[in-house]
Structure 1
Amino acid sequence: MLKEVIIVEGKQDIVAVKKAIDAECIATGGYSLLTKTIEKIGQAYEKRGIIILTDPDSPGERIRRYLVKRFPYAQHAYISRAAATANGDIGVEQASAQSIRLALAKLHCTTFEPGNEFTYADLVDDNLTGHSDAAIRRKLLGEILGIGYANAKTFLQRLNHYGVTRAAYQAAIIQLEAKQ
């Protein structure tokens, strides 16, 4: 059984996660988190640690931002939009067990002493902003690095806050170039 508790949005997400891995899960019930749910997440955070695995959509990102303000040392797992889309719906519950395991294998934690390894110039140099294919390239690079899709500003923040090394970034850029 996984030590950390996985935080997801709904009951169907719990079902999908349990098909992939033996883990305890807590459902937020969407963005309107109840006080008792926050308390339950807080207990898990203090005792075992938590992994935030929300849907790769706007509401999922809003929930993630809300949780990280309260639980700053939480770990983050990201499933790509493509892997989490099926039957005209997007969410963790749509992802395969393999996609969930892959996301959990690429965990990241926000650091409080963020690095400044990466700059906006890196994004420009690698066509991750200011280029017609920038959004697609960020999406693919985010999948490779396991930091999810984001706009340029948030992508840069994740690179610097999630402890991505220059070597890992360069290896991911090479892998990205090979895909395109």
Structure 2
Amino acid sequence: MIKEVLVVEGKMDVVAVNKAVEADCIITGGFGLQKQTVDNIRHAYKKRGIIIFTDPDTAGEAIRRWLIKRFPKAKHAFISIEEASAHNDIGVEQASPDSIKRALSRVRTPNWQVQNIFTAQDLLREGLSGGTESSHKRAKLGTMLGIGYANAKVFLQRLNTYGIKRDEFENALKILQKEVK
């Protein structure tokens, strides 16, 4: 049983999560969160902690940003677009139990004292921004590091706030380079 309460977008996300792990979930119902839902999330946040586990799409990221502002010490789980895509749909509900377990095994907690270990130059040097394959590389690396897919600016922010260490970043890059060859 996962100690924290998972915050997911829909009922089918709960079904998918329950096939993978034993966890309590709160459903946001999309971006228009009801006051009672926010109150339930707040209560879980204070009592057990929460893990934000939204879909890897624009709406899911918007919900995540909205929740981060209100629950800054929440933990985060990310699932890749590839693992969450099926039947012309993207979402946690499309992911396999193994993919969900993998995402939940790499939960990250933001450190609001930004570390500034990584710079935009790091992303450029490693081909994670400014190139034709940059988006694809960030998606793969984000999955490996457990910080999800993001544009270059958000990816850099996540590297510096989710506790990624330089050696962890470099080891993931080495693995990614072997996969590309």
TM value normalised by structure 1: 0.99
For residues 27 and 73 of structure 1, the distance between their equivalents in structure 2, rounded to whole angstroms, comes to 19
Q: Which residue matches 1:14? A: 14
Q: Give the 3-state SS of the residue equivalent to 1:110 in structure 2.
A: coil
Matching residue of 1:158 = 158
Structure 2 Cα separation of the partners of residues 153 and 2 of structure 1: 31
Letter in structure 1 aligned against 2:32:
S
Question: CA offset at residue 177 of structure 1?
Answer: 0.2
- Cα displacement string for residues 19-75 of structure 1 (whole angstroms, at most 9, x for unaligned residues): 100100000000000000000000000000000000000000000000010000000
Unmatched tracts of structure 1, length 5 or more: none
Deviations 1:66-108 (A, max 9, x none): 0010000000000100100111111000000000000000011
CA drift of 1:135 comes to: 0.8
* Residue 64 of structure 1: aligned partner: 64
Give the match for residue 118 of structure 2.
118
3-state SS in 2 of match to 1:158 = helix
Provide the C-alpha distance between the structure 2 equivalents of 1:112 and 1:146, rounded to a whole number of angstroms.
Answer: 17
Counterpart residue type for residue 103 of structure 2: A
Residues 140-180 of structure 1: per-residue CA shift (max 9 Å, x gap): 11111111111100000000000100010000000110110
Structure 1: distance between partners of 2:150 and 2:89: 20
- Between the aligned partners of 1:92 and 1:166, the Cα distance in structure 2 is 29
Q: Aligned Cα RMSD in Å?
A: 0.5
Q: Is the aligned partner of 1:96 residue 2:126?
A: no
Aligned residues: 180
Give 1:10 deviation, angstroms: 0.5
Amino acid at match of 2:8: V
Cα displacement string for residues 94-140 of structure 1 (whole angstroms, at most 9, x for unaligned residues): 00000000000001111111100000010011010111211111111
Which secondary structure state, in structure 1, belongs to the residue aligned with residue 131 of structure 2? coil
d(CA) in 2 for partners of 1:132, 1:3: 41
The code of the aligned residue for 2:111 comes to: T
Write the letter of the residue equivalent to 2:172.
A
Q: Does 1:26 align with 2:26?
A: yes
SS at match of 1:109: coil
Structure 1 outlier segments of 4+, above 2 Å: none
Q: Quick one: which amino acid aligns to residue 151 of structure 2? A: N
Q: Percent identity?
A: 52
Give ranges in structure 2 of 5+ residues lacking alignment.
none
